[in-house]
Structure 1
Amino acid sequence: MTLYAEIATLIAEGRAFVLATVIESAGSTPQKPGSKMVVLEDGSLRGTVGGGAIEFQIIEAARQLFSAPERTRTLETHLTHELGMCCGGRMKVFLEKHEAPMRLTLFGAGHVAREVAALALHVDFRVTVVDARPEWASSERFPGCEVLLKDPADHARALSSDARDCFCVTTHDHPLDQAVLEALLPKPSAYVGVIGSRRKAERFRMRLEAAGVEAAALERLRSPMGLPIGALTPAEIAVSIVAELIQVRRSASPRK
């Protein structure tokens, strides 16, 4: 498999990586401009930029870039003076971070969920839709999404999550919304939101608190979810929700 094919596979699998490309070289160097190497989060490699001390330095720089706010970095090194290599040349390497897409799980497959899914896919979220109703949860209604014909509350209780997961609760039933939220709020995530009015939000917070959900978890709940743009139609509501998801992804200031 060529390096480009491996990169395409990593992107399709939603895996994060740093692409290192030699962009300049002078004198004797192990690789010339255009040589590429992929560094994964676990330190495994695809391709090479020459091995030895220079490759080790690039791997370390790539690992640092994974946790840095910037997406690119340039590394310039004299192989003999700085690394003690016998080559005697100089290399400049461009590092480019490709982040794993955030995962969005929609609990409920109604009209708003359908609009949210389409828009979220367009801005590079990986979307899963969960609903027990086959007439609503179908690949025809949600092209490009993973569609799970399951009870949303059962799925919420069973799933594992991390800080790149976003959850939007849009089921057809208020008690089901609450059951899903009770399961989701204690789990790690970047975003948990539920659709509804401010009055519904107040009632939900009271019920969730009574059910034993901790105050710190309740603070993370976005309810009503979406930025306050006066949205009315399902499409407009979807715009407000996806805009808030983008805000979270870009680590912008949270909504007041």
Structure 2
Amino acid sequence: MSPPMDLYEQMAALVAEGRPFVLATVIDSAGSTPQKPGSKLVVLEDGSLRGTVGGGAIEHQIIQAARALLESSETTRVIETHLTHELGMCCGGRMKVFLEKHGAPPRLTVFGAGHVARELAALALRVGFRVTVVDARPEWASAERFPGCELLLKDPADHARSLAGGPEHYYCVTTHDHPLDQAVVEALLDKPSAYLGVIGSRRKAERFRMRLRAAGFAESSVERMRSPMGVEIGALSPEEIAVSIVGELIRVRRQTV
């Protein structure tokens, strides 16, 4: 049984919007079941649905399993449900359903729109990150300098305070001002993220860590900050530094897939 084509169109739209979901596909059934192999259901984080695998108690069970998968580190899961009186269904039979998680693309927020940020954003886009650049200076955070990126003309620290974070979020702090870097880091440090890095020398990094400890941040939080950020390749130019940082972002992304 083939699903309507608009289900695939809706899935493509969800991917484009960066909204994670689970695709549930009936892969086997026996006896009297509400849906046959090939039937599909899309489950979003908030429990909203696209498509169906039969409705009722059986669909509710699949929805619960799909939402649990979204919160886990797994990417796929197979569940088998027997349609019995315990489920409030008297039709009998069984269904085996394959659950496949489609995660949101990783989101990189670059705080600051300087020379390194420009190269970093361009390269991160090319390797699959959705990139947002935050800087209050319109002459720096312009569409000409950052094609393909979302641009926010606002104070980086204010924006950092407004973020909720999440496992798909990566943060690179590259502002033009050390106290501003510090304020951004303090706003982000206890928020969930896959990566939090700060540009600068080892001396700057140690000063930052001392100030964070003095401000009362736990050592486990302080150690989450990667600074100097990037893999060690002896980078000097903005282009080389961007390669170093994106290399580290890729390493973290592949370790969390």
Work out the CA distance in 1 between the residues paired with 2:23 and 2:44.
9
Please state whether the residue corresponding to 2:22 is helix, strand or coil.
Answer: strand
Contact (CA 8 Å) 2:135, 2:141: kept in 1 or not? Answer: yes
Give how far 1:250 is off. 4.4
How many angstroms apart in 2 are the aligned matches of 1:125 and 1:166?
A: 9
Q: How does 1:237-252 map to 2 (within 5 A)?
A: 237-251=241-255
Indicate the residue corresponding to 1:127 in structure 2. 131
Match status 1:38 vs 2:30: no
Alpha carbons of 1:55 and 1:136: their partners in 2 closer, same or farther (altered >3 Å)? same
Match 1:232 to one of 219, 233, 236 = 236
Alignment of 1:164-243 (within 5 A): 164=167, 165-210=169-214, 212-216=215-219, 217-243=221-247
Separation in 1, partners of 2:29, 2:37: 6
Inter-partner Cα distance in structure 1 for 2:86 and 2:21: 26
| Cα gap change, 1:179 to 1:85, in 2 (>3 Å) | closer
- Structure 2 residues not aligned, in runs of 5+: none
The CA deviation at 1:96 is 0.6
Quick one: which of 70, 73, 76 aligns to 1:66? Answer: 70
- Percent identity, please: 78
Any idea what the Cα deviations from partners look like across 1:192-212, whole Å, max 9, x if unmatched?
Answer: 2111121222233334445x2
**Does the CA contact (< 8 Å) of 1:186 and 1:213 recur in 2?**
no
1:163 aligns with 2:166: yes
Distance in 2 (CA, whole Å) between partners of 1:121 and 1:87 is 51
C-alpha contact 1:161 1:189 (8 A) present in aligned 2 = no
Which residue of the partner structure matches residue 104 of structure 1?
A: 108
1:116-157 Cα offsets, whole Å, 9 max, x none, are: 222323343322101222232112222221101223233334
Structure 2 Cα separation of the partners of residues 96 and 15 of structure 1: 14
CA RMSD of aligned residues (A): 2.7
2: CA distance, partners of 1:126 / 1:208: 29
Q: Which amino acid is the alignment partner of residue 225 of structure 2? A: L
Counterpart code for 1:191? Y
Residues 42 and 136 of structure 1: is their aligned pair in 2 closer, same or farther, counting only changes over 3 Å?
A: same
- TM normalised by structure 1 equals 0.84
Whether 1:3 and 2:7 are equivalent positions in the alignment is: yes
Q: What is the TM-score with the length of structure 2 in the denominator?
A: 0.83
| In structure 2, C-alpha distance between the alignment counterparts of 1:232 and 1:13, rounded to whole Å | 36
Report the Cα distance in structure 2 between the residues aligned to 1:135 and 1:95, rounded to whole angstroms.
47
Q: Report the more deviating stretch, 160-169 or 81-90.
A: 81-90
- CA distance 1:76–1:206, shift in 2 (3 Å): closer
Match of 2:55, as an amino acid?
G
Q: In structure 2, give the amino acid aligned to 1:5.
A: E
Distance 2:147 2:23 in 1: 30
Distance in 2, matches of 1:114 and 1:94, equals: 42
Aligned-partner Cα distance in 1 for 2:157–2:229: 19
Change (3 A) 1:213 1:244: farther
* Superimposed CA distance per residue, residues 52-111 of structure 1 (whole angstroms, 9 cap, x where no aligned partner): 232122112212212222211122334359857433433222111012233321111122
1: CA distance, partners of 2:89 / 2:176: 65
Q: Distance in 1 between matches of 2:153 and 2:72?
A: 38
Distance in 1 of aligned mates of 2:213 and 2:227: 14
Instruction: Give the number of aligned pairs.
Output: 250
The 3-state SS of whatever aligns with 1:154 is helix
